[in-house]
């Protein structure tokens, strides 16, 4: 290959990376703002929304805005309370919402068409969210079911296989691919261990939904912690990405509903017990200080953080972003249920599936959490609707702190992650 062609290919590759790294911003911005700065109201209040439209960061005038107001629908469909059109005057338009007569969330969505292209945005406000109660219920044999599962797991040798990954190691951290025995198969993960001699606190990082490779958290280990990042699907976590993509499109498609009518064989039973097995592994490490373990994750990982703390009293701290799998039966009671928002059609709305879901709902593990926790989410999350998360959070009878970043959807600001890390590191170091 001649030098000119080689340099041209390098430039094209760099340009491609630059283009894909650009933020996904739109020319026209629709902004929906409530009249309470914390987006939170008392039952019986009538919030007023101000709607503005910006182009090139300048207010637009005289444009027709279509709006809808409804209970927070997640990404499914719930009944619309009100809809209509208003015109922008002096840069904004106002819409008055109706009252909510019970704790919950209300969403105002605004849509405009500019030069033939549609733009929209929404804002979700809360009504007495700390009074939200769950719609799911606790099975009488819930504790017995999970105690039996842990007993069966304890009878299976861990048999850890740790494979050093030299290409991922640094001058301060050793990185290993780890294989462990779990019920009905294996659990795999990436261990990042400080090279510095001594005994260290540990962080278990549990994953969000999906199927992907994992790389571990070297930064945790550089800060002096054992850091164990696990996958949940019983397959190695250091293969090429295309392997996981093929599984997601094939054998593991919609894995979260697999055997939903059979609690003994439901997909998440092996996953939840796999988190306990990950704690077993941490406890077995000579470099573990024997005392301090924190668990953290977001979405499905936020759920697994609460679940692991509820199942395993060896967990000392938990930090959860927007926990999924919370109050799954919400849709059966007129409000949004937690991801994966399953109870919305004839296939899933069957008594045996509803009953099975109770053994895997975060709400019912939240009842047993007794350790300090740090939590964070947004009101605009349409994947893990806020009512579902509050339904679990409100039941936790332990020291806890909630950091609401109202405008966030199913993502976090860097500041949220900085707060989480600072809190978790501080707890483990005290």
- Residues assigned a catalytic role: 299, 381, 410
Whether the upstream peptide bond of residue 346 has omega within 30° of 0, thus cis, is no
Query: In b/e form, how buried is each residue of 151-162, taking b as 16+ CB within 10 angstroms?
Result: eebeeeebebee
Q: CB burial class (10 A; 0-12, 13-18, 19+) of residue 365?
A: buried
Q: Tell how far CA 418 is from the center of its chain.
A: 17
Distance from C-alpha of 153 to C-alpha of 175, rounded to nearest angstrom: 26
Number of helices (H), then strands (E), in the chain? 10, 18
Distance from C-alpha of 411 to C-alpha of 99, rounded to nearest angstrom: 29
* Contacts with 92 (C-beta within 8 Å, 6 or more apart), sequence order: 50, 51, 52, 59
Distance from C-alpha of 103 to C-alpha of 390, rounded to nearest angstrom: 10
Contact 109, 67 (CB under 8 A): yes
Contact 137, 358 (CB under 8 A): yes
């Amino acid at each position: 290959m001649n030098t000119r062609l080689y340099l041209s290919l390098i430039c094209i590759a760099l340009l491609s990376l630059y283009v894909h790294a650009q933020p996904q911003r739109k020319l026209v911005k629709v902004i929906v703002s409530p009249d309470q700065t914390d987006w939170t109201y008392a039952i019986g209040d009538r919030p007023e929304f101000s709607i503005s439209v910006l182009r090139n960061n300048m207010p637009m005038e005289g444009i027709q805005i279509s709006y809808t107001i409804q209970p927070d629908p997640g990404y499914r469909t719930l009944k619309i309370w009100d809809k209509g059109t208003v015109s922008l005057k002096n840069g904004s338009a106002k819409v008055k919402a109706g009252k909510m007569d019970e704790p919950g969330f209300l969403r105002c969505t605004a849509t405009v068409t500019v030069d033939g292209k549609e733009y929209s945005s929404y804002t979700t406000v809360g009504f007495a969210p700390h009074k939200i109660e769950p719609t799911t219920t606790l099975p009488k044999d819930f504790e017995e079911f999970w105690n039996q599962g842990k007993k069966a797991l304890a009878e299976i040798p861990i048999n850890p296989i740790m494979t050093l990954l030299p290409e991922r190691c640094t001058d301060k951290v050793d990185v290993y691919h780890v294989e462990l025995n779990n019920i009905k198969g294996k659990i795999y993960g990436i261990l990042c261990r400080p090279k510095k001699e001594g005994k260290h606190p540990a962080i278990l990082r549990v994953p969000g939904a999906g199927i992907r490779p994992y790389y571990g958290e070297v930064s945790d280990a550089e800060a002096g912690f054992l850091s164990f990042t696990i996958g949940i699907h019983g397959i190695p976590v250091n293969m090429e990405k295309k392997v996981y993509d093929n599984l997601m499109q094939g054998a593991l498609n919609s894995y979260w509903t697999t055997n939903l009518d059979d609690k003994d064989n439901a997909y998440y039973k092996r996953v939840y017990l796999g988190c306990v097995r990950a704690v077993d592994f941490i406890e077995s490490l000579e470099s573990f200080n024997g005392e301090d373990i924190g668990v953290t994750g977001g979405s499905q990982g936020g759920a697994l953080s609460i679940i692991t703390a509820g199942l395993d009293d060896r967990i000392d701290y938990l930090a959860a972003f927007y926990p999924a799998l919370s109050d799954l039966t919400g849709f059966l009671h007129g409000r949004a249920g937690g991801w994966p928002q399953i109870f919305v059609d004839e296939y899933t709305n069957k008594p045996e599936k509803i009953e099975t879901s109770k053994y895997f709902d975060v709400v019912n593990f939240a009842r047993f959490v007794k350790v300090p926790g740090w939590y964070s989410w947004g009101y605009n999350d349409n994947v893990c609707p806020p009512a579902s998360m509050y339904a679990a959070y409100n039941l936790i009878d332990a020291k806890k702190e909630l950091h609401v970043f109202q405008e966030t959807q199913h993502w976090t600001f860097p500041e949220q992650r900085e707060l989480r890390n600072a809190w978790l590191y501080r707890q483990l170091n005290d």
